[in-house]
A and B are shown apart, each in its own frame.
Chain A
């Protein structure tokens, strides 16, 4: 299967700071999604981004498919951004990384 590496594994930020989360994957893929897992376990869709750049409010993402990586940018972080962020890649099935655990402190 496809190997997915996310970095950093853990991140602690002061409220208002910016951050970049990275996702590297081992093979070419047709699909790539970023998720935020809430404390109750639900995966919330952030971006469906097999290639290119997208922005949604304070969040943006860029995928460079030819170089097999994707970046998630969080600007002006808020305490509600805390949680685990997953990158998932694949074709018909998704391969997940082990996530980045983000803690935003006031």
Chain B
């Protein structure tokens, strides 16, 4: 059983560009959440998708957007990248909204 998978694993982008990160949830999971982890910090909640709709959102600007597809996979899009967007982006999936979460290996984004 494949766990949560994310792609790509590493990414370097230039300030002002746009980026798309991808996540496939664990088999049988229909809820996907995204987190941003800055160096030396704990992960911070960006948003959560369930039934292809954004259900909750953390304190992140509109430059951060997402999507969930009918197969429950998800994308995180970040527009107009800033240097401060450099971080590890983690995707988590859950079998039911509000239950145990399982995380992917993350995508390390560097903005130069």
Contact = CB atoms under 8 A, between A and B. Distances in A.
Nearest to A93: B45
B43 A41 contact: no
Contacts of B106: 40-42
Contacts of B42: 4, 86, 88, 96-99
A93 B33 contact: yes
B97 to A, nearest CB: 6
Interface string B29-53: 0000101010011111100100000
B105 A31 contact: no
Contacts, number: 60
Given A41-B88, A43-B90, A94 B101 contact: yes
A73 to B, nearest CB: 20
Interface of B: 33, 35, 37, 40-45, 48, 55-56, 58, 88, 90, 92, 97-106, 108
Interface of A: 4, 30-31, 33, 35, 40-43, 45, 48, 86, 88, 91-99
Given A42-B106, A92-B48, 20 more contacts: A4-B42, A31-B100, A33-B100, A35-B103, A41-B88, A41-B90, A42-B103, A42-B104, A45-B103, A88-B42, A91-B98, A93-B33, A93-B58, A94-B92, A95-B45, A96-B42, A96-B43, A96-B44, A97-B42, A98-B41
